[in-house]
Structure formats: structure tokens, C-alpha cells
Structure 1
């Protein structure tokens, strides 16, 4: 689309190159996060499902010590830390934190719009 955002084949918002962790344990450096009208889905670097939950049951907040680039999610009773765009391979030396922070803003807005809780 013209706004620079990536959308999947069914119109869902797709965040690629997402760093996903659970606590201090990394789960995916180049994972994927999909948000459609009802569901938030986390997939690892190989596309395998990590977790999935209705957007209305997801709670999220920014992780302070990351400068707003990481979002803490609680879904299906589990906690995850996600950084959309942080695993971007094409931007290794010039990884722009403001781009990652913008993607985190977009994610929080989608969760709030979908009925989830954002603190």
C-alpha cells in the first residue's frame, strides 16, 4: 500500500522482522506478527505458530528501558516482548530506532482499536 505499511493477502497488518522473546529467552530474531480484525498472531522465523489470541484479549504496554521500541504483550496468559522491525537484516548497520518505535506505535494502536488493553 502507499502508506509504506505491509498488509497480508487478507488485509491483515503484517509486521515482519520482529524480534520476539519470552522473558529473557529469545524465541525469534526474524519473526512475524500479524494483526487482523479479530486475532493477533505471533510466528517464529520459520513461520511456525508461537501464539495466537483474540485482539480484544491482548494487553500491551511499552517497555520503558528500550526507548519505546519494545512492546510487552500478554496474550493467552503468556507474556512476550516484541520489537517490530528490530530484526531487519537489510538495515543491520543503520537500524533506525525511530522506525522501530513507529512500528511499535502502530502495533499499540491496532491493539487498542481491536478492543485490547493498552497501558
Structure 2
């Protein structure tokens, strides 16, 4: 039959509950306890526990990008060493890359040299 499911392949409800509990435990072990307790509520299933922190970090992507770009392009050496300044800019460039705003080497170098004393 097209579109039917063999019931012998579908786990029983208690098996789904066990799998769900194991997934929630994995989430707990891989994110900070504070974040876990912020997003987890009694009765939440694994999908809900996965979706809540995902929304927290992806919904503010534009705001994060604006903040990081302001910090990146406003970077000045000030009283830090050139090494520290390079590291700071590289870290910001990597963080921007993580949210989809790629900083190529030419832009990184020109921003670095513009901010040097």
C-alpha cells in the first residue's frame, strides 16, 4: 500500500518517551546549565528544547551583525600591542563569519592598518 506505515517499525509510546528523554539529556550535557534551565520547561519534548535556544541565537542575527560590524570597523590599537590588536580583529572577523558576514583578508588587513597608531 502506498503511504502506509508498517506498525512493527514504529516504536511504542514508551520507547519514544525514552528516546525523547535521552535527547533532552544530551542537550543538557552540551549546553550551559543556565541556558538549559532558561529554555527548558516541564513537559517540553526534545524538539521544543532544541528549537528554543536555536531561535534565541538565530533570531538576533541581524542585531549581532550590526554590533560586531560596528566593533570591527571601529577598532583602534589604542594602548594594546599590534599582536593583541590583530587577535581582536581576527576574532571579530571570525564571529562575523559565523553569522554569515564574511570578512576577506583584504578588508581585515585594511581595517587593521587603518586602526594602528
TM-score higher than 0.5 here? no
TM-score by length of 1: 0.28
Identify the structure with the greater strand proportion: 1
Q: Which has the higher contact order (CA 8 A, sep 6+)?
A: 1
Identify the structure with the greater helix proportion: 2
Larger Rg: 2
